[in-house]
Structure 1
Amino acid sequence: MSERVLIPRNRGFLFLDSHPAGCARLVADMWRACPDSAGVPEGDGPVALVIGSSAGYGLAATVAGLKRAGIRGIAVSFEKAPTERRTATAGWYRTAATADIARAAGRDLVFLNGDAFSDAMKEQVADLIERRFGGRLDYLVYSVAAPRRTDPDTGATYASVLRPIGEANRTKTLVFDDRGVPEVREVETAPAGGDDVEQTVAVMGGADWERWVDHLAGRGLLGEGFTTVALSYIGSPLTAAIYRQGTIGAAKAHLEATARALDERLGTTVGGRAVTSVNGAAVTQSSTAIPGIALYTGLLRGVLGEALVPPVHQLAALWDQLTGGAPLAVDDEGRVRLDTWELTPEVQASVAERWEAATTDTIAALADLDWFQAEVRRLYGFSVPGIDYTAPVATDVPWPATGS
């Protein structure tokens, strides 16, 4: 097994390698931070499928589901294995650590690595539910952020883009140079053109979520009361032009429309539910790619400090609602709102004031930059407390075995 000392090397917010021990410790810390629940069943828990389980809110959904609801079932993600030149992706190591936690908790959770958009993966999951989990699925959590998707019916490949709709958007954004020195810049993003909106909706909208539900329903695998949720984000008016009102926002609107259609159908067929869950801001590998989001998140942390709600706490609250531990409370659009702490008028006014004042010279006093930079590094297993980064670490970590 290969062992070496890993030094963080990055291009902006993207790191070339990931640290296995740091990723494992991060997952263990999430597990410890997730509140216990008296309602976790002693024996077999509900059968759940988490699609996009290795990062961000999908990872939080998996960890919180294990601890808060005692789930068993299947977790799907798409990660790269280690090679001679590179470590595995961070999600690979996080998945291995999550599998260890599930095993220690006595929960039968199978981890599959592959293209969640493909019908082959849908069929593999359906076979597993049928053979291993009694032919009944109770919950499906959909948390997929991807740059492209191939339609299994047509073979056409669609690519998502981050663009405003209608006119160019000029916004502030936060970058760091090679020494980690922050700079506030203004960047302009050209508007969507051609079929950019349709392409982004095809990737990030509800088409694949609906296809998953249809495939599993066609196999007769949806249990009575089956509930499915797609994880989403609305965000602040400060980032609306590039996010909620942009191409990604069009995809989110399609996701919400899909939820309403699925909710009506599932209510009729299995007495079930379909909702979207609007989560609060967090530093994720997806969010750091969006202009303005890094600046906004750093300023939000500067306003809220420790009151910023981490993803695993949000997802613990979601599982409580999904499993009946708390009422399933939705807004007029049928969305569970886990972002209310972020979008209060007082918080948004404070962030907006700091946003207006933010320059390269002032940003250190307005945003929690130490926290933000550490959060970015922790996405790849670096800057995790308790890890000796001077010690060699084994990088050839195997993918979790599926067992019998």
Structure 2
Amino acid sequence: MSERVLTPRNRGFLFLDSHPAGCERLVADMWQECPAPDSEPAGAGPVALIIGSSAGYGLAATLAGLKRAGIRGVMVSFEKAPTERRTATAGWYRTAATAGIARDAERDLVFLNGDAFSDAMKDQVADIVERRFGGRLDHLIYSVAAPRRTDPDTGAVYASVLKPIGRTNRTKTLVFDGQGVPEVREVETGPAEGDDVEQTVAVMGGADWERWIDRLAGRGLLAEGFTTAALSYIGSPLTEAIYRQGTIGTAKAHLEATARTLNRRLGETVGGRAVTSVNGAAVTQSSTAIPGIALYTGLLRGVLGEGLVPPVRQLAALWDQLTGAAALALDDEGRIRLDGWELTDDVQSAVAERWEAAATDTIAGLADLDWFRGEVRRLYGFSVPGVDYTAPVATDVPWPGQDSSPVMG
């Protein structure tokens, strides 16, 4: 097993390597941060499928499901193995750490690595649920953020884009130079063209979520009272032109429409429910790619400080609602809202004032830059408290309990 001293190498918010020990410690910290239930989950626990389990809100859903609900089941993600030249992706190491926590909690989780959009992965999951978990699935969490998707029926490859609709958008954004010095810039993003909207909806909308339900229902694997939630985001008026009113926002609207369709269908067939869960802002590998989101999140943290609710605490509340430990709290559109702390008038007004004042020479006093920079680095296992980054670390960490070869279409 190879051991190396790893130092962060990055291009903007994208890091070229990940730190295994840092990723492991980060997962352990998330586990501790998740509130424990009033009593330990009894029995074998509900059977869950979490699609997109290795990062962001999907990782939070996995850990919160383990701690709050005592889930067992199948976790799906798409990560790259370590090579001689490069470490594995951060999600690979986070998955290995999550598997260790599941073992310690004596919960049976199977971790699969591959293309969640493919029918091959859907069939593999269905086989495992049938043979290993009694043929009944209680919950499905859908948390997929991807740049492209191959349609299993036609072979067509769709690509998602981050663009406004109808007009060019100019917005402030936050960047850091090679020495970590912050700069507030104005960036311009041209409007969607051609079939950009349709392509983005095909990747990030509800088509694949519905296909998962179709596949599992066709195998008779949905338990009575089955619930499914797709994780989503609405966000602030400050970012809505590029996000909620842009191509991604159209895809999110399609996801919500899919939830309404699935909700009617599941209610009629298994007495079940489908919802979207609208989460609050967080620093994730997906969110840092969206113009303006880095600046907004840093300012939001500057306003809220420790009042910014981390994903694992939000997902603990989601699991309580899905399992009946707490009443479902739905908005007028039938969505679970976990973002109330972010979108109050007082918070948004304070963030908007700081947004207007944000410039390179003022940003240090307006946003929590140390926190934001640290959060980005921690996505890849760096800057995690308690980790000795001067010590060599083994990078050749095996995928937990399964063949590491990705399952493709």
Report TM bin, short chain.
over 0.9
Q: Which residue of 2 aligns with 1:263?
A: 263
Letter in 2 for 1:87: T
Letter in 2 for 1:121: M
Q: Which residue of 2 aligns with 1:384?
A: 384
CA distance in 1, matches of 2:322, 2:281: 21
User: What SS is found at the alignment partner of 1:201?
Assistant: helix
Q: Which residue of 1 aligns with 2:34?
A: 34
CA positional deviation for 1:41: 2.7
Q: Which residue of 2 aligns with 1:128?
A: 128
Q: Which residue of 1 aligns with 2:94?
A: 94
Q: Which residue of 1 aligns with 2:14?
A: 14
Matches within 5 A, 1:41-190: 41-190=41-190
Q: Normalising by the residue count of structure 1, what TM-score does the alignment of the two structures yield?
A: 0.99
CA positional deviation for 1:402: 4.3
CA distance in 1, matches of 2:267, 2:381: 42
Q: Normalising by the residue count of structure 2, what TM-score does the alignment of the two structures yield?
A: 0.98
Q: Which residue of 1 aligns with 2:406?
A: none
Q: Which residue of 1 aligns with 2:346?
A: 346
Question: RMSD over aligned Cα, in angstroms?
Answer: 0.7
CA positional deviation for 1:73: 0.1
Q: Deviations over 1:365-389 (max 9, x none)?
A: 0000000000000000000000000
Q: Deviations over 1:194-250 (max 9, x none)?
A: 000000000000000000000000000000000000000000000000000000000
Q: Deviations over 1:271-293 (max 9, x none)?
A: 00000000000000000000000
Q: Which residue of 1 aligns with 2:248?
A: 248
Letter in 2 for 1:86: R
User: What SS is found at the alignment partner of 1:238?
Assistant: coil
CA distance in 2, matches of 1:103, 1:50: 17
Q: Which residue of 2 aligns with 1:280?
A: 280
User: What SS is found at the alignment partner of 2:165?
Assistant: coil
Q: Which residue of 2 aligns with 1:364?
A: 364
Kindly indicate whether the alpha-carbon contact (under 8 Å) linking 2:56 and 2:311 is maintained by their aligned counterparts in 1: yes
Kindly indicate whether the alpha-carbon contact (under 8 Å) linking 1:39 and 1:69 is maintained by their aligned counterparts in 2: no
CA distance in 1, matches of 2:294, 2:24: 25
CA positional deviation for 1:39: 4.5
CA distance in 1, matches of 2:39, 2:142: 23
Letter in 2 for 1:234: I
Letter in 2 for 1:367: A
Q: Which residue of 2 aligns with 1:238?
A: 238
CA distance in 2, matches of 1:298, 1:62: 26
Q: Percent identity?
A: 85
Runs of 5+ consecutive residues of structure 2 not aligned to the other structure: 404-409
Kindly indicate whether the alpha-carbon contact (under 8 Å) linking 2:41 and 2:68 is maintained by their aligned counterparts in 1: no
Which stretches of structure 1, 4 residues or longer, exceed 4 Å deviation after superposition? none
Kindly indicate whether the alpha-carbon contact (under 8 Å) linking 2:302 and 2:366 is maintained by their aligned counterparts in 1: yes
CA distance in 1, matches of 2:310, 2:22: 18
Q: Which residue of 2 aligns with 1:325?
A: 325
Letter in 1 for 2:221: L
User: What SS is found at the alignment partner of 1:239?
Assistant: coil
CA positional deviation for 1:40: 3.8
CA positional deviation for 1:329: 1.1
User: What SS is found at the alignment partner of 1:237?
Assistant: coil
CA positional deviation for 1:42: 2.9
CA distance in 2, matches of 1:346, 1:198: 36
